[in-house]
Chains A and B, each alone.
Chain A
Amino acid sequence: MIKIYRNIIILSAVFLFATIVSCDKDEKEDIPPTVYNPTTYNMEVPQGFPTNLNIPDDNPITEEGVKLGRYLFYDGRLSGRDEEDSLMSCATCHLQSAAFEIGENHPKYPDGHPHGLNGKETPHFPLPLFNLIWNNEGYLWNGFISKENTNLGIPSYGIPAEPQYHLTNIESLVWMGIVAEHEINGTIEMTEQMIRSIDMYPALFEAAFGDKQINIDRISKSIAQFIRTIVSSNSKFDKYLRGETNLSPAESRGLVLFQTEEGADCFHCHGSAGNPLMTTHLFYNNAKDNVFNDPRDRYGVTGNEIDRGAYKATTLRNIEHTGPYMHDGRFKTLDEVIDFYSEGLVYSEYAHPLMEKLRPPYGKGAELNPPQKADLKAFLLSLTDETLLTEEKYSNPF
């Protein structure tokens, strides 16, 4: 009898132990092994700027990633070649001194129109690479590269319609530049091999991604991280909005012209005191032409009739340095641009409704007089951000 009771006690004790263990297990988290832990980049949002940041979940910004991306951004060997005449990187066309645009008097492209290593000109003129972390409406002049893009590749750029060529964000711009015919015109394999062969990079990749593996995904991600940190938020107009300075009388008059329909009515497309990005990031036919045969306009992306001849409204920040202007660089100076919007609009049924000053037969623009043009230009020049042009952390690290 005692033996039976003893057995019952033993069994009960085992069951009790099992119950305690199973209960305990429910409440404990498995402790993962020590893993790579990079330093989160402190992305400060300037006063009045958007809090919605375009940072993909699979590419958070880290100090180490930005450091690597900065080197790659400036490294001409990104082309996959190291001969002097075959070097090309993002910085070849996007100069800091020109607000990360091509700018005037570029040593290689004096007319402001870049061409690839094979001499083929880019379909459009470049766009500046700053404040892109706040662009959620697509990249390039037609917004083709966007999170909504369901197409693969860009056959007309020599990029095949294959699953690995899905263009959705800044990361895509990097490898697109490598393989596009009118840019590096190289291959991903060549670039990967070249970067792998450079002594300094394995350690930088390890710091950024946890191991020394070098591939196009990591190259693209790190450069995209660096680009997302390039911020312009310290122009005279920014300081005015922060209450740190006043605009001159001419700049103030220019601001009123900029922000009123009776004036030049720039603000509906190009931002305002309430939208310091100085762009809506949206797409408009701004009445430059009456024939539309560019397959890379917004219509080429949406297939919507109202998008014929439409292109992204570019930011007007640093507009002083980002000429030539328009998608085809047709205007060399800011004065030419102001003259165009004042009296040069071209009628077509596709001009955007916000180009309401286009009213045939006489309405061809805002009809500004010379003092008004000077005031408007003075305001536009107040959007120049010298800090961006000289900031050490954006500069060439080599």
Chain B
Amino acid sequence: MMNLLNYKTIILIVLAAILSLASSCEKDPEPDPQPTTGKLQLNFDFYNEADPMEWGIKKYTNAAGNEYNAYYVKFFISRLTIFKDGEATVLNKFHNSHYVGTDVAPSLQWTIADDIEKGGYDSLSFTFGFNDEDNESFMFVNQPEVNMFWPEELGGGYHAMQLDGKWRLSNDSLTGFNFHLGPGQVYNTSGDITGFIDNSFIVSIPSSDFVINEGNTTSLILRMHVDKWFTSPIEYDHNTYGGSIMEIQEAMEKVVMNGWDVFSIVK
């Protein structure tokens, strides 16, 4: 009888040990809490009037009547901000900016790293290029970003944009335009530079409301309307300023003025 009891006790202990080990071995994870955030992805595309932009030798005519083509556009956006009920949230704070080049395919799709609280958002905005505070020389070391360097003699930092192409002169020849935007210069009467002008501007996009769903990525198309750089409110004529404008503040000021409606969101 005594032996029988001992055996029973041993069996119980062994069974308890098995049960405990088996349960620890399974490592049953606790169910994940339901995510409350999602991601935002911006896909960049480019239009000229009603059609997708064809980079290269395709001929276009701008509002001033210049026949032109465009090889590529390269630009930075920074301080991407989303708005909800009047409250602004700046995204991508660590990197601050995103480089886009039509010749660098991976740059055309940008999934922002931030986890964004689910819900409806009213709009988004960003700074085209870098504002004076952010535009620091030597903050990039890798290509393609370093190819956007803006010489320190001219204000330093980086180009906001390089839109390069060619327009047809009255003598029927094609010549290059470098529609470049970055810090402007103030010159004295002797032609010396006495100061610099911040030519960055904030792009607030109308009808850019969107919804973030938990655990999902919301994709938006951020569309650049290339033709609009040359019109509204200013009809920009390449013949007025010639090929290069990064040392002509008057021309860059017109670029800034025309930039307000260049972007739209396509959902």
Q: Are B176 and A351 in contact (CB under 8 A)?
A: yes
**B243 contacts chain A at the CB level, 8 A cutoff:** yes
> What residues of A have a CB within 8 angstroms of the CB of B11 in the complex?
5, 8-9, 12
Contacts A9-B7, A259-B151 given; indicate if A360 touches B169 (C-beta within 8 A).
yes
Q: Is residue B152 contacting chain A, with contact meaning CB distance below 8 A?
A: yes
B177, A6: Cβ atoms under 8 Å? no
Q: Report Cα–Cα, A349/B56, bound state, in Å.
A: 12
Chain A residue nearest to B172 (CB atoms) is A360
Smallest Cβ-Cβ distance to A50: which chain B residue: B142
Segment of B17-25, B38-46, B257-265 engaged in the interface with chain A: B17-25
Note all chain B residues with C-beta closer than 8 A to A22. 25
Chain B interface main SS type: mixed
The smallest C-beta distance from B10 to any residue of chain A, in angstroms, reads 6
Query: What residue of chain B has the Cβ atom nearest to residue A11's Cβ?
Result: B14
Q: Once the chains bind, are A275 and B143 in contact (CB under 8 Å)?
A: yes
- Among candidates B138, B141, B153, B178, residue contacting A356 with C-beta atoms closer than 8 Å: B178
Q: A274 to B149, alpha carbons, bound, how many Å?
A: 6
Can you list 7 residue pairs at the A/B interface with Cβ under 8 Å?
A16-B21, A48-B138, A51-B142, A271-B146, A273-B151, A275-B143, A359-B169
Judge whether A35 is part of the interface by a CB distance below 8 angstroms: no
5 additional contacts, CB 8 Å, given A260-B153, A273-B149, A359-B175?
A: A12-B14, A275-B146, A282-B147, A353-B178, A356-B178
Task: Name the B residues within 8 Å of A13 (CB-CB).
Answer: 14
Q: Which residue of A lies closest to B6 (CB)?
A: A5
Q: In whole Å, how far is B224's beta carbon from the nearest beta carbon of chain A? A: 18
Most B CB contacts (10 A, CB to CB) among A52, A136, A262, A268 go to A268
- Verify A274–B176 contact, CB threshold 8 A: no
Known contacts A2-B7, A265-B244; decide if A274 and B174 are in contact (CB<8 Å). Answer: no
CB distance from A321 to the nearest CB of B (A): 24
Q: Is A50 a contact partner of B18 (Cβ separation < 8 A)?
A: no
Please indicate the chain B residues that have their CB under 8 angstroms from the CB of A262 in the complex: 247
Could you say which of A12, A256, A281 has the most chain B C-beta atoms within 10 Å of its C-beta? A12
With a cutoff of 8 Å between Cβ atoms, the chain A residues found around residue B88 in the complex are: none
Chain B residues within an 8 Å CB radius of A20 = 21
A261 touches B244 (CB 8 A): yes
Closest to B163 in A: A353
A356 contacts B175, CB within 8 Å? yes
- Residues in A with CB closer than 8 Å to B56 are 304-306
Is there a chain B Cβ closer than 8 Å to A109's Cβ? Answer: no
**Chain A residues, Cβ within 8 Å of B138:** 48, 274
Q: Shortest CB–CB separation between residue B252 and chain A, in angstroms?
A: 12
- Cβ-defined partner of B4 (8 Å) among A5, A268, A355, A356: A5
Interface size class of A (residues with CB under 8 A): 35 or more
Task: Give every chain A residue within 8 A of B189 (Cβ-Cβ).
Answer: none
B18 contacts A356, CB within 8 Å?
Answer: no
Contact A268 B171 (CB under 8 A): no
Q: Place the interface of chain B in its size category.
A: 35 or more
B34 within 8 A of A: no
By a CB distance below 8 angstroms, the chain B residues around A2 are 3-4, 7
Any B CB within 8 A of the CB of A124: no
Determine if B165 is an interface residue (Cβ-Cβ < 8 Å): yes
Query: Is the beta-carbon distance between B71 and A353 smaller than 8 angstroms?
Result: yes
Interface positions of A from 242 to 287, Cβ below 8 Å from B: 256, 259-262, 265, 267-268, 271-275, 277, 280-282
Whether the pair B143, A52 counts as a contact (CB closer than 8 A) is yes
Instruction: Let me know if A361 is at the binding interface, CB within 8 A.
Output: yes
Closest to A262 in B: B247
Q: Quick one: which of A109-160 are within 8 Å of B by CB?
A: 136-137
Asked whether B149 lies within 8 Å of A261 as measured between CB atoms, the reply is no
Contact partners of A354 in chain B: CB under 8 A: 164, 176, 178
- A15 beta carbon closer than 8 Å to chain B: yes
Give bound CA distance, A5 to B247, whole Å.
96
Q: Which residues of B contact A259 (CB under 8 A)?
A: 151, 153-154
B80 CB, min distance to chain A CBs, angstroms: 24
A19 at the B interface (CB under 8 A): yes
Name the residue of chain B whose CB is nearest to the CB of A52.
B142
Cα distance A222–B256 in the bound complex, in angstroms = 52
Q: Chain B residues near A305: list those with CB within 8 A.
A: 56-57
The residue in chain B whose Cβ has the minimal distance to the Cβ of A23 is: B25
Q: In the complex, which of the residues A49, A52, A282, A356 contacts B176, with contact meaning CB atoms closer than 8 Å?
A: A356
Which residues does chain B contribute within 8 Å of A52, judged by CB atoms?
A: 142-143
For residue B3, which residue of chain A has the nearest CB?
Answer: A2
**Any chain B CB within 8 A of the CB of A288?**
no
B178 touches A357 (CB 8 A): no
Note all chain B residues with C-beta closer than 8 A to A281: 143
**Separation of A8 and B153 alpha carbons in the complex (Å):** 89
Given contacts A20-B21, A353-B177, A360-B173, whether A275 and B147 have CB atoms under 8 Å apart is yes
**Cβ contacts A9-39/B at 8 Å (1 or 0 each):** 1001101100110110010000000000000
Q: Is the CB of B7 within 8 A of A261?
A: no
Taking a contact as CB atoms under 8 Å apart, the answer to whether B247 and A280 are in contact is no
Of A5, A256, A306, A361, the residue contacting B171 (CB under 8 A) is A361
Q: Does A1 contact B (CB under 8 A)?
A: yes
Contact of A50 among B8, B141, B175 (CB under 8 A): B141
Q: Does B197 contact A (CB under 8 A)?
A: no
Least Cβ–Cβ distance between B153 and chain A, in angstroms: 5
